[in-house]
Amino acid sequence: MIPGMRLLNSFFVVVLPLSSLMAREPVEVIPADSEIAGSGPVRRYDWFRNLWKNKRTAWAKEVEAKQGALVFLGDSITQGWGDDLKGAFGKTKVANRGISGDTTRGMLYRMPEDVLALKPTGVVLLMGTNDLEEGATPEVIAGNLKLILKGLKASNKEMPIILCNVFPSHESKRRSAEQIKKINALYAEAVKGDKQVTLIDTWSMFANEDGNARKAEFPDLLHPNALGYEMWANTLRPVLETLDLVEVPVDDFKPEEGYELLFNGSDLTGWGYRNKKTFAKTEDFDGKVASSEGRYLAKDGRLIVTTPPEGRSFTQLWTHQEFDMDFTLKLEFRANANADSGVFIRRPQLQCRDYLVAGPYKDLKSYKPGDWNEIVVVVKGRTAHCTCNGEVLEKEFKLPASGPVGLEGDRGQMEYRRIRIKK
């Protein structure tokens, strides 16, 4: 990803046994294509050879010290975050294994020493943009990703893998919006239904209306600035917390006088599933920390709507209680990038999403992406007044005379906490 003369590469597929992805002695030189699995470009510019040698030689000396680290595998975007990721994840042991200019095939080759040898607790992947600059097709890039995932899963069937969508860039960088969207679609297809891999939509959060990077976060239309890295960290953190990969702050919240908690912070007592047609109760989760299929999870004071492996999956969790009186409902939510959820009030749904990306309230001034936001719903009779951080979402939200409170799961991870009601 450093500017320089391009080197033409002949693309061909090399099929090597899985054993070739197991740990080897570190190498200081980039081997011949015939020794590298996968297909597509492998960079060999002088500057890249030197960087490859220096980075990998230094990392070989850190293997023992980095055992059990959370590993970030990528290119210059990852490298540019710094060795400790600027402290974005507190005391968590991290290992930054980004090499500026690297391609998916290069990452596939160096994965045994740079990643697997560390016996990581989890791996965060961001890759593919440099392949485009070298002329690789989205299909070639996705094929290499599949081999990387295969190697990671073979090393540890329980290790969480977090896959980030390729960030937007620009045609002037030989990285068109159309090509990047195609890569991301192929990535989603590759991991659909895979419970070991969590896909995060790090494209939508950065893309402008044309699908290109915004200069506010990508001054050179390729690499994020401090704001861009902060946004990336904010959308990774909730998922990493849910997967027990980073520390979770203690929430010692106590409800205001007159309010009762609808969610106790420890389990799903008071909540369950209902038949979508008859609305009869079908499952009771009292005393349980998770719903039957694991979509809803009570953890660390949060009611988490987890990311569905299918990409999108519509589920609805309801309170046992029904409310026919006037009341004030308060809760806080934190939306993953482009997440889509909802809060049901006596059955009608108030959209609860990563608003500035997913809508429908894209003009909010006080909404905090990747952070906690408060929704307040004041119900009088059959009308609700709904706000987010004090800004009006719905002035007169029409309601039936009675019904429960509910939470929808759709796309991405959504967290709720401090759910309380005053009757």
Summarize the confidence of residues 398-417 as an average pLDDT: 97
Q: How confident is the model at residue 395 (pLDDT cuts 50, 70, 90)?
A: very high
3-class secondary structure per residue, the chain:
CCCCCCCCCCCCCECCCHHHHCCCCCCCCCCCHHHCCECCCCCCCHHHHHHHHHHHHHHHCCCCCCCCCEEEEECHHHHCCCCCHHHCCCCCCEEEEECCCCCHHHHHHHHHHHCHHHCCCEEEECCCHHHHHCCCCHHHHHHHHHHHHHHHHHHCCCCCEEEECCCCCCHHHCCCHHHHHHHHHHHHHHHCCCCCEEEECCCCCCECCCCCECCCCCCCCCCCCHHHHHHHHHHHHHHHHHCCCCCCCCCCCCCCCCCEECCCCCCCCCEEEECCCCCCEEEECCCCCECCCCCEEEECCEEEECCCCCCEEEEEEEECCCCCCCEEEEEEEEECCCCEEEEEECCCEEEEECHHHHCCCCCCCCCCCCCCEEEEEEEECCEEEEEECCEEEEEEEECCCCCCEEEEEEECCEEEEEEEEEC
What are the tens digits of pLDDT across the range 344-362?
999 999 999 999 999 999 9
pTM (global) more than 0.85: yes
What are the tens digits of pLDDT across the range 110-163?
999 999 999 999 999 999 999 999 999 999 999 999 999 999 999 999 999 999
Q: Kindly tell me if the per-residue pLDDT of 405 is higher than 60.
A: yes
The CATH 2.60.120.560 domain(s) of the chain lie at: 260-422
Looking at residue 28, what is its pLDDT?
A: 81
Architecture of the domain defined by 260-422: Sandwich (2.60)
Q: How confident is the model at residue 26 (pLDDT cuts 50, 70, 90)?
A: low
Burial of 348 per CB tally in 10 Å (0-12, 13-18, 19+): middle
- The pair of three-digit structure tokens given for residue 232, joined into one six-digit string: 């990336």
Q: Kindly tell me if the per-residue pLDDT of 388 is higher than 70.
A: yes
Summarize the confidence of residues 322-329 as an average pLDDT: 98
- The pair of three-digit structure tokens given for residue 42, joined into one six-digit string: 């492998």
- The pair of three-digit structure tokens given for residue 397, joined into one six-digit string: 């939200």
Cβ atoms 11, 41 nearer than 8 A: yes
Looking at residue 2, what is its pLDDT?
A: 42
Q: Which CATH superfamily is domain 18-242 in?
A: SGNH hydrolase (3.40.50.1110)
Looking at residue 4, what is its pLDDT?
A: 39
Summarize the confidence of residues 176-186 as an average pLDDT: 98
The CATH 3.40.50.1110 domain(s) of the chain lie at: 18-242
What are the tens digits of pLDDT across the range 6-24?
333 434 445 444 444 444 4
CA distance 246 to 330: 28
Average pLDDT along the chain:
94
What are the tens digits of pLDDT across the range 68-109?
999 999 999 999 999 999 999 999 999 999 999 999 999 999
Q: Kindly tell me if the per-residue pLDDT of 34 is higher than 80.
A: yes
The strand pair at 260-261 and 271-274 is best described as unpaired
Percent of the chain with pLDDT strictly greater than 90: 92
What are the tens digits of pLDDT across the range 192-248?
999 999 999 999 999 999 999 999 999 999 999 999 999 999 999 999 999 999 999
Summarize the confidence of residues 271-283 as an average pLDDT: 95
Q: What are phi and psi of 74, to 5 degrees?
A: -175, -150
Cβ atoms < 10 Å from Cβ of 187: 26
